[in-house]
Structure 1
Amino acid sequence: MIRRLAIKEEMKKAADAAEDASNSRPFEIAARSGFAVSGILHVLIGVIAAQLAFGSGGEADVSGAVAQLASQPFGPLLLWVCFAACAALALWQLTNAIFGHRRQKHPKVSKRLSEAGQAVVFAGLALTIASFAVGKAKNSRESTSDGTATLMQAPFGVALLIAVGAAIMITGIVFAVRGFTRSFKKDLVLSPSEPARKFQVGVGTVGYVAKGIALLLVGLLVVIATVTARPEQSTGLDGSLKALKEQPYGPYLLAAVAIGLIAYGLFLMVKAKTMRT
């Protein structure tokens, strides 16, 4: 009994230490910079998508955006800085999901799940950036198709892929709803200046809706590729945007989504500075 209490006390001390570390100002600044990095990447994706809409080539996804960063002066150094920022944000979100609500009587499970999900997303982003930094980057479109093909051959793989595609589509709908309802405002410290406040809300509204549409398209392609047993059609964000261009009025629709992705990138940069903690 005494040993059990001692172990419990040690675990509590470890949890307190982890929570204190996550609340430290230097770590918070490093983590917030991860939102800024994600914002820059979304702006680059939007720019590439706009170029696609008007006839240029490019890869309109995270890999294409990171490749753009890598091509800049001091590219490798820039990539490692971006990697550190995204890794810090992933760790910050994970720490908040595990320890951040211990003092609340009835912490929301949805909040914890959201933070855990964001931790996974930013950890994946950090790994993508690191793969470019060490020169082992892969074409994300081909990787997505290959991963889909592999899962199709696995037991329950088809059901899993359909579930994943549906989950991505639902996430896209949630993003769009957040944009239309402007519920994201509760996550920000809104500026007392009316022009700045309008900018915060404006880029958030447009950005969330566009991000939602993009995710909806990605999930839809996953489901279609799985149901039709054509994994080559599961091509991630780049393939989804290029498929959008092939639709009636496609270039105009793609240009609109591109503008929205740029807006979402600007919103993330704003969030890095004004997010509530």
Structure 2
Amino acid sequence: MSASSANPAAGAAREAQQSSAMQGLARGGYVASGVLHVLLGWLAVQLALGRTSSEADQSGAFRTLGRAPGGALLLWVVAVGFAALAVWQLVTAFVGERGREHQAGLRIKSAAKSVLYGVLAGISVQYASGGGTSGGSAQKGLTAQVLSWPGGRWLVGLVGLVIVVAGVVHVVIGVRKRFLRDLTGVGGRAVGEAVERLGQVGYVAKGIALAVVGGLVIAAGATADPARAGGLDEALRTIRDQPFGPVLLFVVGIGIAAYGVYSFARARYVRL
């Protein structure tokens, strides 16, 4: 008896996961991710050049997109893409990746990604509906709430450490080109050198930014000061304020934009 017949729910989920409609929508989610990261990279570059007062984070990116011609419609399209990718990742967390169903770590990773893409879909809907708040302010408010709990400082520090580890993992993935495992073709050879380079630069740059965000969260836990728990915008400004910071921030911004372009290619080549 097959697993699908033994578990009808899993069989239905597997059928939905492998449907062309679901996979097409999921690929659209990677396009949405590409749009978001290209805008993040552009805002980071503008920040390095001293030409913007907008927040260089997801909130600033969504706000910038909303100001473009047809921005509200674009935000709704992006929201649908992120929502579809969140659903696909949730289904994958339930039934596993095709050919790798028994790898629990991959299921946990898919579950975490589902939450992330779901949050991004929600934020996009907020901005499409005319709302939306500062990402940094929201993070500081949440950090202040957690710090008020018993053992809150340790919990905040632990979250910061997890973010730092995630940043380091991104750097390792980029340097070792491990992202090619998720693309079509044996060893990723089908994608071409340009996509490889974009992925490498993009993952490393995104990893650096995440590591700085995590460091700020750890500092907030260590000092019990929620004002130090800034998001991506504050992390990029921290990079800018270091010696040779504007140059480094410019490079990081280009790298984040490269990750966005890689995401466009990923929408085409990712193995679903």
TM-score (norm 1): 0.91
Give the partner amino acid of 2:35.
I
Q: Shift of the alpha carbon at 1:17?
A: 1.2
Q: Shift of the alpha carbon at 1:108?
A: 1.2
Residue of 265, 271, 275 corresponding to 2:270: 275
Q: Does 1:63 align with 2:86?
A: no
Distance 2:239 2:184 in 1: 35
Change (3 A) 1:227 1:102: same
TM-score (norm 2): 0.93
Residue of 86, 96, 99 corresponding to 1:100: 96
Deviations 1:141-174 (A, max 9, x none): 1111111111100122211111110000000000
Kept after mapping to 1: 8 A contact 2:167/2:210: yes
Q: Does 1:36 align with 2:4?
A: no
Q: Shift of the alpha carbon at 1:200?
A: 0.7
State the identity as a percent. Answer: 39
Q: Shift of the alpha carbon at 1:56?
A: 1.5
Task: Return the index of the structure with the highest Cα Rg.
Answer: 1
Residue of 212, 230, 240 corresponding to 1:245: 240
What residue is the counterpart of 1:136 in the other structure?
A: 131
Distance 2:73 2:266 in 1: 24
Distance 2:121 2:191 in 1: 30
Kept after mapping to 2: 8 A contact 1:190/1:200: no
Deviations 1:197-240 (A, max 9, x none): 11110000100100110100000000012211221111100000
Matches within 5 A, 1:93-242: 93-101=89-97, 107-189=102-184, 197-242=192-237
Distance 2:131 2:70 in 1: 18
Q: Shift of the alpha carbon at 1:136?
A: 2.3
Distance 1:102 1:217 in 2: 35
Distance 1:269 1:121 in 2: 18
State the 4+ residue runs in structure 1 displaced beyond 6 angstroms: 8-11
Distance 1:14 1:212 in 2: 37
Deviations 1:117-137 (A, max 9, x none): 111110111011011112221
Distance 1:87 1:77 in 2: 15
Give the partner amino acid of 1:168.
I
Distance 2:99 2:169 in 1: 28
- Unmatched tracts of structure 2, length 5 or more: none
Deviations 1:163-187 (A, max 9, x none): 1100000000000001111111111
Determine helix, strand or coil for the equivalent of 1:91: helix
Distance 1:185 1:196 in 2: 9
What residue is the counterpart of 1:87 in the other structure?
A: 83
Distance 2:170 2:191 in 1: 23
Determine helix, strand or coil for the equivalent of 1:238: helix
Kept after mapping to 2: 8 A contact 1:207/1:264: yes
CA RMSD of aligned residues (A): 2.2
Kept after mapping to 2: 8 A contact 1:190/1:197: no
Q: Shift of the alpha carbon at 1:189?
A: 2.1
Matched residues, number: 268
Kept after mapping to 1: 8 A contact 2:29/2:84: yes
Distance 1:89 1:161 in 2: 28
Distance 2:98 2:179 in 1: 24
Change (3 A) 1:195 1:276: closer
Give the partner amino acid of 1:214.
A
